[in-house]
Amino acid sequence: MNWQKASLRDALGRSLVAIGERDDKVLVVNADLRNSVKTTYFMERFPDRTIEVGIAEQNMIGVAAGLAMMGFIPFAVTFARFASKRAADQISMSVDYCRTNVRIIGAYAGIFTGMQGVSQQMIDDTAAMRAMPNMTVIDTADAREIAAVIDYAVGHEGPLYIRVGRDDWPVVFDGAYVFRLGKGHWLRQGHDVALISSGVLLPYALEAAEVLRGEGIEAGVVNMPTVKPIDADLIADAANRIGAIVAIENHNVQAGFGSAIAEVVVARAPCPMEFIGIQNEYSQSAPNDDLAEHHRLTPPHIAAAARRAIARKRG
């Protein structure tokens, strides 16, 4: 398919400005990296509402928690690695346990982060964040979904972690897109297999469905931005009606989005599942297309996973 592309980090930066215009309680807390995560736009528009703490993510989360406790709406913006790992205990204690209204933006989530290698990628942040009992976890698929999720985040009650990518990426949604917390939505119906995607691999899922149609296989495609709380009803319905699921994520397949789906499937409607994602290994620096192929994330691999799941269906 010929996708129009838009920069994910640029969407993040513009979206923060947009909510800043709407609500003057919105603050951005930076730990350096302004140019990388494009909070430069917010800083230029609202210098007085930009809190810069330097390369000190633990302090960033603590300061954001304190600001939230004083009634502000702080967005702590840094790379997914530094947020979810460097400041993990600060997030656990001062944000998640204390149910503080801090919005944590894990930018540079996943592996498509501009050929910078493992230290600037993050494949296990969803796992860490969704294991926190009070945390809401959202992954984003394209520039429009980022805008919608950031807009939603202003009014969210409680701890919130949002994964955002970096690079120019296919724009899947149009201006009519509406984000609903905890809800997945069918982009395409199909009775043979359900491809359920969270995050930036969504266009690959849609392309895989086209490949499968060419073989006479009808694949349904779901976009499910909210990883936690997961849309258990949609998943159980897909498992019951269709009976084969492929989970698709830009994250380690262990303990991530696919695992969250599997938890629902085994409890409510057991059916064959396949997992597209990083297969429990670290990535590396390379062009995005090369990485996608190397980690078997591309449409042909998704189509192959769909066939495997269908083959294991009962009856």
Partner 1 sequence: MLSNALTDREGARWAPTDAEIGRFRYLAESTRKLFLDTVFRYGRGHCGPCLSEIEILISLYFAELRIDERDPKSPDRDRFILSKGHGALGLYCVFAQRGLIETKELATFEALGARLQGHVDSIHLPWVELTTGSLGQGLSVALGMAIGARRLGKDIRAYCVLGDGETQEGNVWEAAMAAAKFKADNLLAIVDWNGLQGGITMEVMPSLEPFAAKWQAFGWHVIDIPGHDIGALLAAYHEARMVRGKPTVIIARTVKGKGVSYMENQVEWHGGTVTPALYDQAMSEIEPRLAQLESYR
> Which residue of 40, 58, 254, 284 would you call a contact of partner 1, by CB under 8 A?
58
Structure token pair of residue 300: 């042909």
Is the distance from CB of 93 to CB of 50 less than 8 angstroms?
no
Considering beta carbons, is residue 61 or 271 the nearer one to partner 1?
Answer: 61
> Which residue of 18, 51, 187, 236 would you call a contact of partner 1, by CB under 8 A?
51
Q: Phi, psi (5° rounding) for residue 106?
A: -90, 85
Could you tell me where the DSSP H helices lie in the chain? 8-22, 34-37, 40-45, 57-69, 80-81, 88-90, 125-130, 143-153, 202-214, 232-241, 257-268, 288-294, 299-311
Asked if residue 89 binds partner 1 (CB under 8 A), the reply is yes
Block residue for tokens 């990083």: 278
Asked if residue 98 binds partner 1 (CB under 8 A), the reply is yes
CA angle (213 as vertex; 239, 178 as ends), nearest 5: 60
> Which residue of 8, 37, 43, 64 would you call a contact of partner 1, by CB under 8 A?
64
Q: 62-74: buried (b, 16+ CB within 10 Å) or exposed (e) per residue?
A: bbbbebbeeebbb
> Which residue of 18, 93, 115, 304 would you call a contact of partner 1, by CB under 8 A?
93
Asked if residue 26 binds partner 1 (CB under 8 A), the reply is no
> Which residue of 69, 131, 266, 267 would you call a contact of partner 1, by CB under 8 A?
69
Only one of the segments 61-69, 104-112, 157-165, 246-254 lies at the binding site for partner 1 (rule: CB under 8 A); that segment is: 61-69
| DSSP state, residue 102 | P
Q: What H or E segment, with its residue span, contains residue 170?
A: strand 168-170
> Which residue of 56, 118, 181, 269 would you call a contact of partner 1, by CB under 8 A?
56
CB atoms within 10 A of CB 137: 29
Asked if residue 79 binds partner 1 (CB under 8 A), the reply is no
- The least distance separating partner 1 from the CB of residue 171, rounded to whole angstroms, comes to 36
Rounded distance between C-alpha atoms, residue 212 and residue 193, angstroms:
10
- The least distance separating partner 1 from the CB of residue 65, rounded to whole angstroms, comes to 5
> Which residue of 2, 70, 176, 315 would you call a contact of partner 1, by CB under 8 A?
70
> Which residue of 5, 54, 180, 263 would you call a contact of partner 1, by CB under 8 A?
54
Asked if residue 90 binds partner 1 (CB under 8 A), the reply is yes
> Which residue of 28, 61, 104, 265 would you call a contact of partner 1, by CB under 8 A?
61
- The least distance separating partner 1 from the CB of residue 238, rounded to whole angstroms, comes to 36
Q: What H or E segment, with its residue span, contains residue 93?
A: none
SS3 at position 138: strand
Considering beta carbons, is residue 58 or 284 the nearer one to partner 1?
Answer: 58
Considering beta carbons, is residue 82 or 257 the nearer one to partner 1?
Answer: 82
Contacting residues toward partner 1, per CB under 8 A: 51, 53-54, 56, 58-59, 61-72, 74, 89-90, 92-94, 97-99
